[in-house]
């Protein structure tokens, strides 16, 4: 064999070896871990399973999903993700305030539109959501993959509430972010921050007299059993955020980064279909299950009394977050103007 042929043969062997590594060594199948904050069949669980379905249908990787309680509370699963024990997490901004104060923007009352189509358009198109928040989460070692709405916030209480005066003396459970406490203070109530695991028991024992959540959760968590007066205040939407540990994400080959992004996009579209009509279905289940439930839909003039308290919460948000929060709020409002067409 002359030198030339020997070289060609060697080159061929090297090529085959590299191709083999590509199939077996470099692109091996991994099992990724994903935790969220809800129960079987709830919105975050549906999202997680759609994400899993896409990943598993389009790669050799598999996804292990952990639901509420299996690995602890919301703060625990975030810590585990930051530490790299979990690769993916869904944590709602309601619990992210200490880590990313700007995430509390969702708790400025009456900032978000009330109709679902506009809300969905906002999540799809907003620069604040799709660019600014990505940067804010990245500063905490997190690759934000998507934010999505779960449902309109509805207040439940021990009696119907139609004005800030009716909230006087009521301890209202809030998720553990300081801005949401400011909102309920502004509404005339006494805010009581609690992790989710303590809410049902606290309502049952009258330690607290109310809370807020989307209807599907009031139904699935049985909150109406212990807090039967539902009040539609139209002050906000429950939003959540799904993300990856950033070191894990950055180390993925490009094709897996694309896979993860596409899986998040697919799950987003599926969840928008899932939440369409979900509140109505859940309300019907509640009404069928209980004779004690009352439903109060605030009139426009009743809403005005709560809305009048929103500017003080907006000011508190800026005090808490400084220039970064102020810029985010401006972008948020600009994006809302674009999607509302006003």
Q: Which residues contact 34 (CB under 8 A, 6 or more apart)?
A: 48, 51, 52, 63, 64, 65, 66, 86, 87, 88, 89, 90
Q: Convert residues 161-200 into a mask of x (bound to ligand 6CS by CB under 6 A) and - (unbound).
A: --------------x--------------------x----
Q: By CB under 6 A, which span of 47-55, 77-85, 128-136, 209-217 interacts with ligand 6CS? A: 209-217
Least distance CB 25 / ligand 6CS (angstroms) = 40
- Please give the backbone phi and psi of residue 162, each rounded to the nearest 5 degrees, phi first: -125, -5
Determine the residue with CB nearest ligand 6CS.
196
Among 97, 188, 191, 214, binds ligand 6CS (CB under 6 A): 214
Residues of span 83-102 touching ligand 6CS by CB under 6 A: 92
37 in contact with ligand 6CS (CB under 6 A)? yes
74 in contact with ligand 6CS (CB under 6 A)? yes
Among 34, 38, 93, 226, binds ligand 6CS (CB under 6 A): 38
Q: Which residues contact 23 (CB under 8 A, 6 or more apart)?
A: none
Residues of span 220-239 touching ligand 6CS by CB under 6 A: 238
Q: By CB under 6 A, which span of 15-23, 27-35, 212-220, 277-285 interacts with ligand 6CS? A: 212-220
User: Which of 166-188 are b and which e, b meaning 16 or more Cβ less than 10 Å from the residue's Cβ?
Assistant: bbeebbbbbbbbbbbbbbbbbbb
DSSP state of 32: E
Give the three-class secondary structure for 139: coil
Q: Which residues contact 181 (CB under 8 A, 6 or more apart)?
A: 174, 191, 193
Strand partners, 63: 32
Contact footprint for ligand 6CS (CB under 6 A): 37-38, 74, 92, 150, 175, 196, 213-214, 217, 238
């Amino acid at each position: 064999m002359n030198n030339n042929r020997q070289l060609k043969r060697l080159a061929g062997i090297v090529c085959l070896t590299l191709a083999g590594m590509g199939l077996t060594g470099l692109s091996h199948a991994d099992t990724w871990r994903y935790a969220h904050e809800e129960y079987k069949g709830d919105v975050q669980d549906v999202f997680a399973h759609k994400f899993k379905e896409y990943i598993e249908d389009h790669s050799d990787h598999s996804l292990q999903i952990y639901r509420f309680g299996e690995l602890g509370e919301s703060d625990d699963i975030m810590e585990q993700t930051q530490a790299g024990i979990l690769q993916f997490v869904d944590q709602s901004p309601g619990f992210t305030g200490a880590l990313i104060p700007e995430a509390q923007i969702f708790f400025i009352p009456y900032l978000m539109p009330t109709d679902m189509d506009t809300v969905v358009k906002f999540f799809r198109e907003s620069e604040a959501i799709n660019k600014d928040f990505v940067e804010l989460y990245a500063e905490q070692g997190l690759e934000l993959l998507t934010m999505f709405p779960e449902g309109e916030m509805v207040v439940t209480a021990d009696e119907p509430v139609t004005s800030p005066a009716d909230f006087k003396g009521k301890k209202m459970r809030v998720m553990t972010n300081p801005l949401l406490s400011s909102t309920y203070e502004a509404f005339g109530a006494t805010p009581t921050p609690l992790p989710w695991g303590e809410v049902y028991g606290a309502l049952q024992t009258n330690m607290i007299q109310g809370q807020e959540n989307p209807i599907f959760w009031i139904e699935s968590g049985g909150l109406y059993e212990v807090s039967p007066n539902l009040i539609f205040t139209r002050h906000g939407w429950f939003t959540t955020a799904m993300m990856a540990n950033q070191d894990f994400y950055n180390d993925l080959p490009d094709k897996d980064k694309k896979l993860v992004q596409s899986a998040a996009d697919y799950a987003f579209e599926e969840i928008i279909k899932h939440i369409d009509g979900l509140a109505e279905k859940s309300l019907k289940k509640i009404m069928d299950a209980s004779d004690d439930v009352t439903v109060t839909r605030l009139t426009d003039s009743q809403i005005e009394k709560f809305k009048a308290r929103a500017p003080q919460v907006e000011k508190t948000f800026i005090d808490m977050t400084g220039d970064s929060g102020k810029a985010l709020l401006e972008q948020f409002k600009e994006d809302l103007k674009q999607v509302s067409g006003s």
